[in-house]
Amino acid sequence: MAKRPKAALTAKTADKHVLYEASVQCPEAEIDFVDKTFRRLRGRHAVSLREDFCGTAATACEWVRRRPSNTSVGVDLHGPTLAWGKKHHVASLSDEAKQRLTLLKADVRSPGSPAASGTDIVLAMNFSYWIFKTRQDLIGYFRSVHASLGKEGVFFLDHFGGWEAQRPQQERRKQKGFTYVWDQAEIDMISGQGTCKIHFEFKDGTRMKNAFTYSWRLWSLIEIREALVEAGFGPVTVYWEGDDGKGGGNGIFKPTKKGEACPCYVAYISAEK
């Protein structure tokens, strides 16, 4: 039987979490990076991982899928997003893998058991920790992560910057069936605080405006490094992305001491206990 063509996406029919994940997340690549880096730093595979600000918990699910010994905990404050993740990601795990995953509706600063001690890896990705707008709050969060890690534990974060990150602008990226719009809506040069939004546009002309809104402080990389050290972490390493030769990144992140001046970058950071 001939396959019926898929109905085109519109603002009414599309699911914002599906669009978000397709536009800005790649849990497989993220787990490839943290798995390999932990092994290089510690000489063994990590077993337990906590995904802070987990949203739909796509990465926590990828971790338990990766190896039968892996366990993960996803932590997020927002019940409906966690519920979406249960329905769309957790439900497709095997029964055995489901046993190795826990989702907690909690504040990342006080996640409670079983996420509060002895963890190999804690992740804070997609710049989510920028919701902490003062040094005190940021360092308070970093201290609680430090306390949650086991003695060989490693905290992984990401960071974006460059001069393009510092100004109001919209960036459009075509995706399959829709356009992703990253909107740096407001930036206050004195407080360093800003509002970023995600919108989605569809071929029929409809628009999902303000699908996601983030009220953030745009921390610099050096501020983050210093805050991690102040929170008690040992070596802090920045991983800079290689060049694809066409003005973009090649998806390969290597430990780097000096960051090239560039309009925009995304980097990973590891902070070792």
Instruction: State the residues that interact with ligand SAM by CB under 6 A.
Output: 25, 53-55, 75-78, 81, 107-108, 125-126, 128, 131
| CB closer to ligand SAM, 71 vs 128 | 128
**Cα–Cα dist 81/18, whole Å:** 12
State the minimum distance, in angstroms, from the CB of residue 115 to ligand SAM. Answer: 11
DSSP-derived secondary structure letter, 3: P
State the minimum distance, in angstroms, from the CB of residue 189 to ligand SAM. Answer: 23
**Cα–Cα dist 19/172, whole Å:** 14
**Cα–Cα dist 148/140, whole Å:** 13
State the minimum distance, in angstroms, from the CB of residue 92 to ligand SAM. Answer: 18
CB-based closest residue to ligand SAM: 55
| CB closer to ligand SAM, 124 vs 149 | 124
> Are 218 and 187 spatial neighbours (Cβ–Cβ below 8 Å)?
yes
DSSP string of 52-119? ET-TT-HHHHHHHHH-TT-EEEEEES-HHHHHHHHHHTGGGS-HHHHHTEEEEES-TTS--TTSSSSE
Backbone angles phi, psi at 141, to 5 degrees: -65, -45
State the minimum distance, in angstroms, from the CB of residue 109 to ligand SAM. Answer: 6
State the minimum distance, in angstroms, from the CB of residue 145 to ligand SAM. Answer: 12
**Cα–Cα dist 49/11, whole Å:** 35
| CB closer to ligand SAM, 55 vs 153 | 55
| CB closer to ligand SAM, 81 vs 179 | 81
| CB closer to ligand SAM, 10 vs 23 | 23
